Structure 1
Amino acid sequence: MARNSLLDRFRPVGAPGPAGPAGVPATDDEGTAAELIPVFEALDPTIAEGSEETGSAGAQAQQTVAAARRQAAALVEQARLDSGAVRAEAAARVSAEAASENEHLLDEAREEAQRLRSHGESRVPELASAIVADLVQDLLGRGTDTG
């Protein structure tokens, strides 16, 4: 039985009222696949175009990944080169700071030594007088003991 439209696949049913023949799907030897064949055939160019675009996008993605890998390798290499200069700069800065700190400590030590020297030198006359007085006292004390 040839069909004119989708609605033809159902048998006509009777008017409302007492029970009559039931409306059931007509048996179809070709099945619903026969109805879908023209739809899928119409989609074939779109599917082919999608496959082409997918292939093109995949190739473009591979090129982008390869370019990104090259760029990353160049950045890593540049960082390796720059690290030597940064290390040298840091070492120079640390050395300069250490030299400055050493110079500061040396200046403080010189000031402390000068202060101690001045203090010691200021006490020399007093200590010399005390020593001479002790010696004189000691000599006078001996002279009276022997005489």
Structure 2
Amino acid sequence: MARNSLLDRFRPVGAPGPAGPAGVPAQDDEGPAAELIPVFEALDPQIEAAQATAGNAAEQARESVAAARRQAAALLEQARMDSAAARAEAAAQVSAEVSRQDEALLSEARQEAAELRRRGESRVPELASAIVADLVQVLLGRGTDSG
């Protein structure tokens, strides 16, 4: 045999007809592994290139993850600072609103107190007259009871 091929591994089977000897491997000492060695040897550079590419991709992925973590930490820190400023601003707004409400309530209370004072002062002469009249009645009534 000049060159072995996959088809040379089996002996030719007899012509169609009555049963004859079955085909069996002609060369069993090397087997199918010997046929695949050149194929895998030809793939070695591609396998090494694929492993190098995978290694580079893994390194780039590690670097990307590290960069993303740094960026996320920076964003988180900025968000914390922004939230503190926002809280301070909200507290100032609430405080200003409460102060405005307190001023409005105080103004209203002062107006009501002034109105009550005015009404009370306007009734003083009338009440004083009524009290004096009542005292006169009591004193006159006492004077007549005792005399």
- Shared topology, TM-score over 0.5? yes
Which stretch of the first structure deviates more once superposed, 29-38 or 104-113?
104-113
Aligned partners of 1:11 and 1:24 also within 8 Å: yes
Take 2:26 and 2:126, find their aligned partners in 1: how far apart are those partners?
Answer: 139
User: Which residue does the alignment assign to 2:5?
Assistant: 5
Q: Whole-Å Cα distance in 1 between the matches of residues 73 and 97 of structure 2? A: 36
Identity of aligned residues (%): 76
Tell me what 2:113 maps to: 113
**Residue in structure 1 matched with residue 69 of structure 2 by the alignment:** 69
Residue correspondences, number: 147
Higher RCO (C-alpha under 8 Å, 6+ residues apart): 2
Equivalent AA in structure 2 for residue 35 of structure 1:
E
In 2: Cα distance, 1:146 partner to 1:62 partner: 116
- Aligned residue type for 2:57: A
- Residue type matched to 2:79 in 1? A
In structure 2, stretches of 5+ residues that fail to align are: none
Greater alpha carbon shift after TM alignment, 84-93 vs 98-107: 84-93
TM-score relative to the length of structure 2: 0.82
Give the secondary structure class of the aligned counterpart of 2:131: helix
Cα pair distance change 1:34/1:112, threshold 3 Å: same
Structure 2 Cα separation of the partners of residues 17 and 126 of structure 1? 148
Q: What are the ranges of 5 or more consecutive residues in structure 1 without an aligned counterpart?
A: none
Query: Residue 143 of structure 1 corresponds to which residue in structure 2?
Result: 143
**Paired residues of 1:3 and 1:9 also in contact (CA < 8 A):** no
Counterpart AA for 2:54: T
Alignment of structure 1 residues 23-102 onto 2, 5 Å:
23-102=23-102
> Which whole-Å CA distance do the structure 2 matches of 1:7 and 1:119 have between them?
126
RMSD of Structure 2 on Structure 1 (CA): 2.3
